[in-house]
């Protein structure tokens, strides 16, 4: 598996990949190729965007997208999207991509990573295994319109 930075030239392939993953179990979301392309393009346009793909001779197998922000003397990375191809999940590819991302972020001088995911899901188990913890100090607040 080769890991490299995402470029804008990858976005069309990544959008198809992303909608295939999140329209399937366990998320069963409702992404069209158009809406997922907009989602990923918006991520890529964020200042200090940093994304990585894992690929082999079958094509893209995993994707991580996010951006870092200055916070006082620190850099904090916000992981916006992370996924592995449906038929390749559970093979350790997500763990390898997370390690590659971690190495890349350390090169960049990032001190901390945040992500948002749904409670009590396989994704929470995955992030827990990858060293993330549920913050005892911070809460996500939301308001509906």
Ligand X SMILES: CC(C)(COP(=O)(O)OP(=O)(O)OC[C@H]1O[C@@H](n2cnc3c(N)ncnc32)[C@H](O)[C@@H]1OP(=O)(O)O)[C@@H](O)C(=O)NCCC(=O)NCCS
Distance between CA atoms of residues 94 and 1, nearest Å: 11
- Site size toward ligand X (CB under 6 A) is 17
Residue placing its CB nearer to ligand X in the complex, 38 or 73 = 38
Orientation of helix 11-22 relative to helix 33-45, angle to 10° = 120
Q: Which of residues 98-117 bind ligand X (CB under 6 A)?
A: 117
To ligand X, the closest distance from the beta carbon of 83 in angstroms equals 4
34 binds ligand X (CB under 6 A): no
Task: CB nearer to ligand X: give 91 or 108.
Answer: 91
What region, left, alpha or beta, does residue 120 occupy, with left being phi > 0 and alpha being psi -120 to 50 degrees?
Answer: left
* 125 lies in the binding site for ligand X (CB under 6 A): yes
Q: How far apart are CA 14 and CA 132, in angstroms?
A: 25
Encoded one letter per residue, x for contact with ligand X by CB under 6 A and - for no contact, window 39-78 reads ----------------------------------------
Residue spans of alpha helices (H) in 23-121: 33-45, 93-107
């Amino acid at each position: 598996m080769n890991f490299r930075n995402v470029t804008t030239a990858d976005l069309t392939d990544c959008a198809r990949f992303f909608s295939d993953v999140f329209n399937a179990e366990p998320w069963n979301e409702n992404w069209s190729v158009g809406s997922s392309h907009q989602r990923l393009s918006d991520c890529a346009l964020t200042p200090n965007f940093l994304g990585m793909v894992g690929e082999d001779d079958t094509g893209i197998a995993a994707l991580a997208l996010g951006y870092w922000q200055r916070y006082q003397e620190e850099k904090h990375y916000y992981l916006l999207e992370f996924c592995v191809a449906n038929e390749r999940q559970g093979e350790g590819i997500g763990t390898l991509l997370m390690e590659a991302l971690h190495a890349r972020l350390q090169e960049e001088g990032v001190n901390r990573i945040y992500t948002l995911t749904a409670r009590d899901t396989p994704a929470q188990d995955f992030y827990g295994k990858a060293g993330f913890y549920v913050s005892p100090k911070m809460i996500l607040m939301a308001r509906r319109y």
